[in-house]
Amino acid sequence: MNLTLDIGNTRIKWALFDGPRLADSGVTDAPSLAALARRLSWSRAAVCASGHADLSPLLATGRPVHRLTAASPLPIALDYATPQTLGPDRIAAACGAWALFPGTDCIIIDAGTCITIDHLDATGTYRGGAILPGIEMKFHALHTFTARLPLLEQIDGAASPVTGRTTSESIVAGVLTATRFAVEGFVQHYRSRCATARVLLTGGDAARLTAAGVSALQHAERLPHLVMTGLNNILTELNIQ
């Protein structure tokens, strides 16, 4: 059994794989990681973590633990000028796309604290992409860096208006419509290079991004475990210990 973990700023997403099959998954936090590592039955682990994540609860089990970096053996090529700065979550998502759709151009949209939009081409080469502020980050920035604008949140299921007629509506219009236009523009850009490119959507804010009315996501493939699938593929196909 392969254990895969995506360690973020506030929570840890994990998935357990039996070969290519997803056997179990969930969400935990750093204080609960040791108990999780003891409770689950796994033989090796792959970790996607930004910053200085504490992996000691995993290492204490004595089982092999691989922390993904751009220097890891990968099933894809990285065409990126500064691979040492490339987020491991972006690498893992691209590897997951290649595992699921080999030989296919993919536009990978990961909606989280930030929104990343990346391009993996049909040769299995990661070509880079874009990093945008996420929906929540935009709302907080408008409130934090101004004197009078209130802190708002997206109403789930509500598409963004283009023209707000109150200050609150204008904030929602600015945040959600700007996000919608940005995502649609990037998808259009990549599809101008490859009209058959698949659009893959993942991340904790995927539902909110769809609710914002992004037309490019109407037929996107929702893959909530794309990062974990990539980590599992790296462990399995390359036999990383």
Would you put residue 11 in left (φ > 0), alpha (ψ -120 to 50) or beta?
beta
pLDDT tens digits for range 143-181: 999 999 999 875 554 566 788 889 988 998 899 889 999
Residue 21 domain flag: no
Q: For residue 76, how many C-alpha atoms fall within 13 Å in the half-sphere facing its CB? A: 37
Residue 152 domain flag: no
The pLDDT score that the predictor gives to residue 103 is 97
Q: Is the pTM of this model over 0.95?
A: no
Closest CA to 120 of 74, 84, 85: 74
Which residues are the active-site residues? 89
Based on its alpha-carbon atoms, the radius of gyration of the chain, rounded to whole angstroms, reads 19
Residue 159 contacts residue 212 (beta carbons within 8 Å): yes
Residue 204, domain CATH: 3.30.420.40
For residues 232 and 234, give the distance between their C-alpha atoms in angstroms, rounded to a whole number: 5
Residue 8 domain flag: no
Considering only the C-alpha atoms of the chain, give the largest distance between any 2 of them, rounded to a whole number of Å: 60
pLDDT reading at 239 higher than 90: no
Residue 164 domain flag: no
pLDDT reading at 241 higher than 80: no
For residues 60 and 57, give the distance between their C-alpha atoms in angstroms, rounded to a whole number: 5
- Give the chain's domain count: 1
For residues 241 and 66, give the distance between their C-alpha atoms in angstroms, rounded to a whole number: 7
**45 beta partners:** 3, 65
The pLDDT score that the predictor gives to residue 159 is 63
Residue 33 domain flag: no
pLDDT tens digits for range 83-131: 999 999 999 999 999 999 999 999 999 998 899 999 999 999 999 999 9
Confidence of residue 63 (pLDDT cuts 50, 70, 90): very high
Provide mean pLDDT across the span 48-71.
91
Q: Between 13 and 50, whose confidence is greater? A: 13
pLDDT tens digits for range 183-224: 999 999 999 999 999 999 999 888 888 887 788 888 899 999
φ, ψ (nearest 5 deg) of residue 127? -100, 0
Residue 93 domain flag: yes
Residue 150 domain flag: no
Q: Which domain holds residue 123?
A: 73-134+177-237
Residue 89 domain flag: yes
